[in-house]
Structure 1
Amino acid sequence: SWATHVDILSDKIVAKWKAYLPKMTYPNRIGTHSNSAFALAFAIDFARARGDKEFEQALIAKARQLHLGDKKAPAEWEPNATDFFSPTLMVADLMTRVLPQREYVRWLSTYFTPQGINRLCEKPVVSDLTDYTIVHLVGLAYTRAWTMARISGYLPQGHPLKARFARTSAQMYAHGMDQIFRSDYGGDHWLATFARYAEEVMKANKIKH
């Protein structure tokens, strides 16, 4: 009965997605709620789970349009002060759903810079767990964990980022878990969902935590 009621809402959301996609000219590369790569990735997962091929293909086409030409993403500028998403990792995570593996490896080879990768592998500094926006950075540790886990799982054996992202994914997850139970209401009301999803993605990609 819950599914029946939720389907009413999901059908409304899908209809709005289908109406909006043709009008979507630019991506939203923000580190918070309205990040478009995050939205596209979850929408693709939904379309595949529901078997909605038309919706899936429209989402894939839009992702390719928006991000296939991305090169030398300035990940060394991350994070912003209140990020709970890494804009660059969210795009790389999205494209694992969009590109065949060989094409993905070619795309990834020009997407990140060495400086950017080094920056992404640094644990976010959370100076005040009681601040309602600074605590977002605990969530960033979890989203880095799940995006790196998925990217690592999609890369072929021997790719230099496969082992590095797998190792960093586990470190990011542990960093989040070290702080989540001290995050006050600003983190308590949402961080558990990020932790749970990160755990699922890591498990699916055989990353121990």
Structure 2
Amino acid sequence: MPNALTPEIAARFAMVALGHVAREYPNKPGHVLAGPEDARTPAALHPVFHGSYDWHSCVHGYWLLARVLRLFPDGTQADAIRKQFDAQLVPDKVAGECAYFAAPTARGYERPYGWAWLLKLADALSGLPESRWAEALAPLTGMIVQRVCAFLPIAPYPVRVGTHFNTAFALRLAADYAEGAGDAALFDLLLRTAERWYGADTDCPAWGEPGGDDFLSSALIEAECLRRLLPADRFRPWFDRFLPDLAAGRPATLFRPATVTDRSDGKIAHLDGLNLSRAWCFRSLAAALEPNDPRRPPLSSAAEAHLAAGLPHVTGDYMGEHWLATFAVLALEA
């Protein structure tokens, strides 16, 4: 089982993503109709991100492609990625996306998951030598930053589910954008929000994990969020309190890979994503600990077990195939 993102794996994942970011149907739009004029096709609603079954999956499919291009600019799929970006990441099509978000019915559209992935994509594009794609996306990026900054101060409570509404995952991805863009005010807002929502958490039992359609671990993504945002000398005492028994393999439910019974069922297929996102979190958290920390071996072993459970199933059925490679990249790069 590979434990790193090789050029060969990256090329395979990029080929998968290229096959679905432009695939308009099947499509789950999540769209509010204010009148009959809003009954339009996915491509008419979203000139850029109309593929991959739903908007957020299309966005993080583009992130995967940008990440592969950054890591392997001469890879076998590099030219195809550039061609796709040149066709889609252009000002007039991004203007169509901005128009959708400007509608009154779209105030909460894709909040917070799609917002976070859009910022993660913007961060990836900013690292490419071809600046035209990040520049084209900039108006939409700016809109999403404004929405994050308006929403977080009025959100009194976190959302701890293992699906798209999880707020720790959104803060975690947004932190990458804020740091990469040098937006200290945004990063500070993310940090203050994480401390307000999660700073007092202790002795996490993880008793509700996994849920039947989880693709995130509520416990582990919260820890990964705080790892990313807090300075190391503040994160480690918090982590000690939050999950105090990791060295003994507890909570045990976190260490057992999820069982997936039907990969043609979109909700059950989420559990393959749970295995991959847990592997990402386990790896990141283990790397944040001192080399002799007794928690590192069980965390590293759990990461490899979850990676082995999830990685063979990135392709095979479109219900998982339209998004799972993204989480495989997160896990393999951690």
In the superposition, the TM-score normalised over structure 1's length comes to: 0.91
Q: Is the 8 A contact 2:272 2:310 kept in 1?
A: yes
Give the letter for the 2:177 counterpart. Answer: F
C-alpha contact (below 8 Å) 1:76/1:120 kept by paired residues: no
Moved over 4 A (4+): none
Residues in 1 aligned to 2:232 and 2:329: alpha-carbon distance in whole angstroms: 27
Match of 1:195 in 2: 328
Which residue, out of 36, 42, 54, partners 2:167? 36
**Which of residues 135, 138, 145 is equivalent to 2:279?**
145
Bigger Rg over Cα? 2
| Inter-partner Cα distance in structure 2 for 1:29 and 1:102 | 25
Partners of 2:136 and 2:272 in 1: CA distance: 33
1:198: how far off?
Answer: 1.5
What pairs up with 1:134-173 in 2 under 5 angstroms?
A: 134-173=268-307
Residue by residue over 1:53-101, the C-alpha shift from the partner in whole angstroms, topping out at 9 and shown as x without a partner, is 0111111011111111011212132000000000110100001122232
* Cα pair 1:73 1:111 within 8 Å, conserved: yes
Question: What is the 5 A alignment of 1:88-99?
Answer: 88-99=219-230
Q: How do 1:1-209 and structure 2 match up within 5 A?
A: 1-112=132-243, 114=245, 116-182=250-316, 184-201=317-334
How much does 1:116 deviate?
Answer: 4.5
For 1:204, the equivalent position in structure 2 comes to none
Partner AA of 2:324 in structure 1: L
Superposed CA offset, 1:162-209 (max 9, x none): 221122112211211122233x111011111111121112xxxxxxxx
**Contact kept in structure 1, 2:205 and 2:251, CA below 8 Å:** no
Q: Distance in 1 between matches of 2:165 and 2:188?
A: 22
Tell me which amino acid in the other structure corresponds to 1:160.
P
Q: Output one character per residue of 1:8-47: Cα deviation in whole Å (capped at 9) or x when no partner.
A: 1111100111111210110010111111000001111110
Q: Which runs of 5+ in 1 are unaligned?
A: 202-209
Matched to 1:81, the amino acid is: G
The answer for the alignment partner of 1:207 in structure 2 is none
Return the alpha-carbon distance in structure 1 between the equivalents of residues 152 and 207 of structure 2: 30
The one-letter amino acid of 2:230's match is: L
Which SS does the other structure have where 1:150 is aligned? helix
Q: Is the 8 A contact 1:64 1:98 kept in 2?
A: no
Question: Identity, % of aligned pairs?
Answer: 34
In structure 2, distance between residues paired with 1:155 and 1:5? 39
1:66 and 1:193 mapped to 2: Cα distance? Answer: 27
Q: SS of the residue aligned with 2:301?
A: helix
Deviations for 1:112-136, whole angstroms, at most 9, x for unmatched residues? 2547432111010111112111010
Count of aligned positions:
200
One-letter identity of the residue aligned with 1:138: D
C-alpha distance in 1, partners of 2:177/2:251?
29
Unaligned runs of 5+ in 2: 1-131
CA distance in 1, matches of 2:256, 2:281: 15
CA distance in 2, matches of 1:165, 1:76: 18
Relative to total residues, which structure has the larger helix share, 1 or 2? Answer: 1
Root-mean-square deviation over aligned CA pairs = 1.4
Give me the TM-score of the superposition, normalised by structure 2: 0.58
**Partner-residue secondary structure (3-state), 1:166:** helix
Distance 1:27 1:116 in 2: 24
